[in-house]
């Protein structure tokens, strides 16, 4: 007699499915790109790299496509700690490039990667809207009333470093309005106009071009994040993986990194 009950039940089941799909689609922050080449050399590489390396590594791929056409590179960019988790769970990675030593160390301790080599350093910078409307000159200004500050969660290296920078500057722990889970989301809050200031890597400020403006943090307060890279032990293409690592550590990769604002490893 209440035929809507039947109909509503059907609707509900459908909704639960949609709901599940919706939840899943939002949590992935990784991006992947694939190269198409016709070479049959066993050089199909899965490179897991920190999100902050996105631009530099993408540039490098274009270079390698010319110089080493046998390497077919597929990138997986995400937060370093998320990548560590994936590799621990057996994701098919051939190379891992991490932001920060601690994430790499986790895999070294677990015996999952070969000996890592540091290939670049990065440092923090304050990013503000073009023209610096809030007149931010340093970390101390970030806690001023009326300045909306967004940082990374301390679980992200950039977030941890930012806290350390405030401590080095003898400032109290900052009151951020939100703690984002990666630098790209943090920067997005600034470019969307929701945040007045964020603290991200200098390479991210450079990558964002004219949409943001950088305010340097004095070296005495700043930290240097190092980027180690290593071949994953479970890789089935170790020779190709090593070739890629070499390019990044000492070859054409260095130019790409420098062009994107990264500092030399040493």
Question: Where do contacts with other proteins occur on this chain (CB under 8 A)?
Answer: 2-9, 11-12, 15-16, 18-19, 22-23, 25-27, 79, 81-82, 84-85, 106, 148, 150, 153, 155-156, 176-181, 185, 189, 192-194
Distance of CA 30 to CAs 78, 79, 128, 153, Å? 5, 8, 25, 17
The residue among 125, 261, 123, 262 whose CA lies nearest residue 197 is: 125
- In the complex, minimum distance from the CB of residue 107 to other proteins, in angstroms, rounded to a whole number: 11
Query: Which residue's CB is nearer to other proteins, number 146 or number 266?
Result: 146
Closer Cβ to other proteins, 27 or 38, answer by number: 27
Q: How far is the CB of 85 from other proteins (least distance, A)?
A: 7
The distance of closest approach from Cβ of residue 179 to other proteins in the complex, given in angstroms and rounded to an integer, is 5
Among residues 19 and 140, whose Cβ is nearest to other proteins?
19
Locate all alpha helices (DSSP H) within the chain, ordered by sequence. Answer: 3-27, 54-67, 80-88, 101-109, 157-168, 183-191, 202-207, 238-250, 252-259
Nearer to other proteins, 178 or 252 (CB): 178
State in angstroms the smallest separation of the CB of 143 from other proteins. Answer: 16
Number of CB atoms found within 10 A of residue 114's CB: 18
| Rounded Cα–Cα distance for residues 125 and 158 (Å) | 10
Least Cβ distance, residue 255 to other proteins (angstroms): 32
29 or 206: CB nearest other proteins = 29
HSE-up of 210 (CA within 13 Å, CB side)?
0
Min dist CB 103 to other proteins, Å, is: 9
Nearer to other proteins, 19 or 62 (CB): 19
* Distance separating alpha carbons of residues 201 and 37, to the nearest angstrom: 33
In the beta sheet, which residues pair with residue 231? 95
- CA–CA separation, 10 vs 118, rounded Å? 56
């Amino acid at each position: 007699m209440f035929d809507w009950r039947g109909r509503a039940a059907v609707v509900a089941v459908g909704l639960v499915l949609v709901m599940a799909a919706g939840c899943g689609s939002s949590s992935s922050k990784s991006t992947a790109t694939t190269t198409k080449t016709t070479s049959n050399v066993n050089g199909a590489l899965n490179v897991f790299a920190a999100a902050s390396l996105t631009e530099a590594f993408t540039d490098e791929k274009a270079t390698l496509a010319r110089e080493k056409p046998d390497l077919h590179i597929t990138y997986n960019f995400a937060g370093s700690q998320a990548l560590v988790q994936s590799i621990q769970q057996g994701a098919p990675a051939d190379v891992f490039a991490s932001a920060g030593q601690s994430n790499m160390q986790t895999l070294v301790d677990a015996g999952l990667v070969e000996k890592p080599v540091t290939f670049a350093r990065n440092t923090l910078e304050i990013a503000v809207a073009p023209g610096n409307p809030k007149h931010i000159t340093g970390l101390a200004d970030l806690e001023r009333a009326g300045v909306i500050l967004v940082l990374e969660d301390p679980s992200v290296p950039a977030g941890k470093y930012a806290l350390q920078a405030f401590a080095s500057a003898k400032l109290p722990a900052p009151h951020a309005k939100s703690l984002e889970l990666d630098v790209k989301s943090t920067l997005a809050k600034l470019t969307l106009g929701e945040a007045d200031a964020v603290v991200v890597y200098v390479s991210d400020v450079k990558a964002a071009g004219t949409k943001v403006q950088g305010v340097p943090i004095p070296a005495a307060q700043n930290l240097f994040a190092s980027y180690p890279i290593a071949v994953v032990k479970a890789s089935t293409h170790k020779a190709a993986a090593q070739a890629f690592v070499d390019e990044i550590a000492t070859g054409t990769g260095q130019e790409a990194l420098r062009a994107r604002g990264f500092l030399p490893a040493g």
